[in-house]
Amino acid sequence: MEPTDYESRLKLLEKTVRILQKKLDRSEADRQQLENASELRESLLKSVIRELEESQISLEKRGNELETALANLKALQMKLVESEKMSALGVLVAGIAHEINNPVSFIYGNLNYAHEYFQDLLRLVELYQHYYPEPVAVIKREIQVIELEFIKQDSIKLFQSMNIGAERITEIVKSLRTFSRLDEADFKSVDIHEGIDSTLIILNNRLKASVNNPNGIKIIKNYGNLPLIECYSGQMNQVFMNIFINAIDALEESLLSTDFSVCNKKITSYKELVNNNPQIQISTDIINNDWVEIRIADNGLGMDDKVKVKLFDPFFTTKDVGKGTGLGLSISYRIINELHGGKLYCHSSPGAGADFVIHIPIRQSKIK
């Protein structure tokens, strides 16, 4: 091979090597650039993930805050409703006490005088009859017309019934005051039975016989020998009111039912279920020496687990629109559990009625 050809091929090889080296350098630069870009994308991705995680944590925290705020708002709303109800009741009772007590005191106070005056007149008539046994014809005729002898006999019953009526009105007004405890401090030792009885007197109109319920609702009391109980008596009476109303509503609803099934058994009439004898049983007793148990049970249709699990939830109701707010039992639950450190729960199943059980300590000072 000629020296010229060798040098030419050598130069060509050198040129090829330089070109390949440049391509290699460019590939290395591209690789390095891609690697840097990948690291940047990975860094950006990690940053985005961190931001998303932080946002998720922030959203969860905000969600929890909103849930807490909503729960507080519902509790405040319940408290406001409860406060408004008790305030309205207080105004109502004060007005009734003022408007009824005054005229009743006049009537009640003057009945004895009226009875004495009437007896004086009867004695005067008897004197006339004794000394003038043969009155003129006009007087004889008038004695027959007015039935004087009947008046003498019936006057005693008449004044007795008037006295009983006046006393009854006085008892009703006293029960209203006892129910709302307007004349007592919020927290004191009270007779639980007195609170229950006063609440029943207020609801007496709904317990009496009616067109839909000819026999009325029977109240069965099994009171234990309870001491005075330390409690917020006005709120406790509100609990009794809510549970009684719930029981009465359940019994009335059952009475209107004409065709339904209980535990897959066909019932053609509510009379079959309660023997035409709707009733509410109230029992009280001391448990564990330091606690009082109050049970209020009806013999209505009862409820299934779906209803029972939501029974004390705010605004939950099975009643038609306009017939219930769904706050009565939830307020009662708060009063017993939170205000008195007790327990309120319900035993019920379809066809077995509902049994509300209240446990509260005899002395609140022991749980404060």
**pLDDT per residue as tens digits for the range 223-234:** 999 999 988 887
Domain membership of residue 43 (yes or no) is no
Residue 271 pLDDT: 44
Which of the four pLDDT bands, split at 50, 70 and 90, describes residue 58?
confident
At 11, the amino acid letter reads K
Band (150; pLDDT cuts 50, 70, 90): confident
Residue 286's pLDDT is 92
Which domain range does residue 239 map to?
187-368
Comparing 163-167, 242-246, 274-278, 333-337, the range with the smallest average pLDDT is: 274-278
For residue 216, being part of any structural domain is answered with yes
Helices (H), 132-147: 137-146
Q: Select from 109, 113, 108, 201 the least CA-distant residue to 162.
A: 108
Q: What is the mean pLDDT of the chain?
A: 77
Q: Is the pLDDT of residue 320 over 70?
A: no
The residue that leads in pLDDT, 3 or 102, is: 102
pLDDT at 93: 65
340 part of a folded domain: yes
Q: Does the residue 336 lie in any domain? A: yes
Residue 314 lies in a domain: yes
- Tell me, what's the pLDDT at 291? 92
**The domain that contains 327 carries what CATH number?**
3.30.565.10
Q: What is the pLDDT of residue 266?
A: 43
Quick check: 99 pLDDT over 90?
no
Task: Tell me what the mean pLDDT of segment 331-359 comes to.
Answer: 86
- At how many degrees (to 10) do helices 233-256 and 3-131 cross? 90
pLDDT of res. 281: 92
Least confident of 5-9, 246-250, 273-277, 315-319: 273-277
Residue 309 domain-assigned? yes
Q: Which of 192 and 364 is assigned the larger pLDDT?
A: 192
Residue 148 reports pLDDT greater than 60: yes
- Residue 346 maps to a domain: yes
Q: What confidence score (pLDDT) does residue 263 get?
A: 42
Residue range 33-56, pLDDT digits in tens: 777 777 777 777 888 888 888 888
- Of 273, 201, 275, 277, nearest to 244 (Cα)? 201
Q: Sign of the CA dihedral 37, 43, 46, 48?
A: negative
Spatial distance between the Cα atoms of 19 and 256, rounded to a whole number of angstroms: 102
Q: How far is CA 220 from CA 94, 200, 286, in A?
A: 31, 12, 19
Higher pLDDT, 296 or 165: 296
pLDDT at 270: 42
Q: How far is CA 127 from the centre of its chain?
A: 65
Tell me if 16 is assigned to some domain: no
Structural domain total, the chain:
1
